[in-house]
Amino acid sequence: MPIIKSAKKRLRQSEKRKALNLRYKRQMKAVIKEIAKLVKNGEKEKAKEKLSEAHKRIDKAAKRGVIKKNTAARKKSRLTKAVS
């Protein structure tokens, strides 16, 4: 455990950031899995409706630095291709 005051603060900050990053990543993965499941079951219309939510979650994760910009673009591209 940190002893210095600034190190204690850094620990609190990193724990907070880790929790937020995990939240963004889990939300993104959940919606991607949901779309994959819908596509697999042949429910393309529902998948198309969910696509905008997926793009929103992926963009948010990229904006926050959870994933990189090109990774976000690749994920969105593959999702769109799978749905169409």
Domains along the sequence of the chain with CATH: 5-83 (1.20.58.110)
Percent of residues, the chain, with pLDDT higher than 70: 100
User: Which residue is it, tokens 């999702």?
Assistant: 79
Average of per-residue pLDDT values in the chain: 95
Sorting pLDDT into bands at 50, 70 and 90, what band is 1? confident
Task: Give CA–CA dist 73/83, Å, rounded.
Answer: 15
User: 7-46, pLDDT tens digit by residue?
Assistant: 999 999 999 999 999 999 999 999 999 999 999 999 989 9
Q: What is the dihedral of CA 15, 19, 24, 25, to 10 degrees?
A: 90
